[in-house]
Amino acid sequence: MNIIIVGGGKVGFALAAQLDKEGHDVSLIDNNASVLEKASNQLDVVCINGSGAAPDILRAAGVEDTDILIAATSNDEVNIMSCLVAKKLGSSNTIARIRNPEYVPAARLLRDELGLSMSINPERAAAREIVRSIRFSNRVKVSTFLKGRVELAEIIVRENNPLVNQTVQKISSQYKQDILVCAIVRDEQVLIPSGIDIVKEGDRISIIGTTQDVEKFLIATGVSQYREFNEIMIIGGGRITYYLTHMMLGMGIQVKIIEQNAKKCQDLASLFPTANIIHGDGTDQDFLRSENLSEMDAFIALTDNDEENVIVSMFASSEGVEHVLPKINRVSLGFLMEKVGLVNYITPKNITADRIVQYVRAMQNAVGSNVESMVTMFEDRVEVLEFHIRSNCKFIGIPLKDLVFRKGIIIGYISNKDGSVIATGDSRIQVDDTVVVISAVRKLRDINDVLA
């Protein structure tokens, strides 16, 4: 597909990198030469210097022949204008990054005029991801599929875990929850396991199942503990905090916000009179202890400083807070979190980019690809893909046990109007099913390619 991205900042660059990796023809527009130089050096994309709202610049990028324009600058007005101009010049599909809540209703009213296929608010999307993620322990990294019905959880099997020295088949049958061990990393080697493979101490494994089954399995194996949420602490009073507080209060959870800026504290207190807003330094360890940090059910670090978020989250974990989740903009810091056992963190730019990339994949369905969504695991060595089954699938109605799959591929989950189930040898895939495939084979883009 021909794709134009307006804005080469954090979100725009992440989008360009992912879409380039998936084989799309990408043009990146930005008025910052250094941003374009970085993109040109690292990606195979066409870079154009100028404003994405200028007709001449959009024409130079080939807007008349583009399949979709994505406006992802930090300026809502520029994004809206870029979509409007692109629509007038012939682009049939546009996506706008709109952060200001006041503009969202206007964007909906002008959806047809703007040619908006989708609008996304990064901060609201990040808040929703936090609400979903804090259900799990710090030691669990979670992705979601099938519109939130299925979770993929990545854990490290530590000493004394009951999974040690158990076969994959026994793990699936021993616990009453309907889960599947679908990937193992051992000594930096990736294994897509069969039933006879054995889980060992130190393995990084991924399991798949419904949200409820995954939660129960993690509790049963001692990875997580059941705990009701009564009160959470948030460090930082920015936009994500605004949306997160609104969601948490709506769920009946008490919220304590610590913010250094007095004006922000006043604004938050006016917006959320039932929340506990405290003016103070959220990185001061003694101050956090005085605010009963250890009694919190969850701790969310949302300052604008990645290092502060990491350090204060490590401290919160050391104080016994079960659910700790920092915001990290620089993905390179993720390794540090994993080193100290905190694999659960959010990266807003990636959440936004992933949502948009999923939409682009859905658009591709009209021209042959049937990938609905995709995430990667284990430093991009494993892909987990969601396929929508069409009539051109070569193994409709055939038991999976009668098929020969390529090495490094398993079908993990099957969903249809009757429900969602773990795939077994007796499972049969039908037209309109949605199937989750775990693959160590890169760039798997058609369901028929799973066969040997």
Three-class secondary structure of residue 269 per DSSP: helix
Residues 291 and 326 in one domain: yes
Residues 422 and 316 in one domain: no
Q: Read off the CATH number of the domain in which 163 is found.
A: 3.30.70.1450
pLDDT at 142 (0 to 100): 78
What is the 3-class SS of 19-52, one letter each residue? HHHCCCEEEEEECCHHHHHHHHHHCCCEEEECCC
Residues 310 and 397 in one domain: no
**Residue 98 amino acid letter:** I
Q: Is residue 351 included in any domain, yes or no?
A: no
Core vs surface per residue 76-89: b (16+ CB within 10 A) or e: bebbbbbbbbbbee
153 and 207 in contact (C-beta within 8 Å)?
yes
pLDDT at 366 (0 to 100): 45
Domain boundary among 346, 378, 410: 346
Residues 197 and 267 in one domain: no
For the full predicted model, state whether its pTM sits above 0.75. Answer: no
What angle (nearest 5°) sits at the alpha carbon of residue 151, between those of residues 150 and 152? 130
Domain boundary among 220, 254, 279: 220
Take residue 227 and report the two structure tokens written for it: 């705990």
How many of the other CB atoms lie within 10 Å of CB of 160?
Answer: 7
pLDDT at 28 (0 to 100): 96
pLDDT at 426 (0 to 100): 92
Residues 209 and 233 in one domain: no
Take residue 411 and report the two structure tokens written for it: 């079908």
Residues 293 and 380 in one domain: no
Q: What domain range is 160 assigned to?
A: 139-220
Q: Is residue 360 included in any domain, yes or no?
A: no
**241: nearest Cα among 255, 225, 231, 261:** 255
Residues 316 and 272 in one domain: yes
pLDDT at 355 (0 to 100): 79
Q: Is residue 383 included in any domain, yes or no?
A: yes
Residues 101 and 23 in one domain: yes
For the chain, what is the domain count? 4
Round to whole Å and give the CA distance between 178 and 183: 16
Q: Is residue 358 included in any domain, yes or no?
A: no
Domain boundary among 169, 200, 220: 220
Residues 245 and 328 in one domain: yes
Q: Read off the CATH number of the domain in which 282 is found.
A: 3.40.50.720
Q: Is residue 307 included in any domain, yes or no?
A: yes
In sequence order, the β-bridge partners of residue 205 are 155, 184
Q: Which residues of the chain have pLDDT under 70?
A: 107-108, 110-115, 137-138, 147-148, 176-177, 225-227, 331-343, 362-370
Q: Is residue 108 included in any domain, yes or no?
A: yes
pLDDT at 115 (0 to 100): 63
Q: Is residue 418 included in any domain, yes or no?
A: yes
**277: nearest Cα among 293, 264, 290:** 264
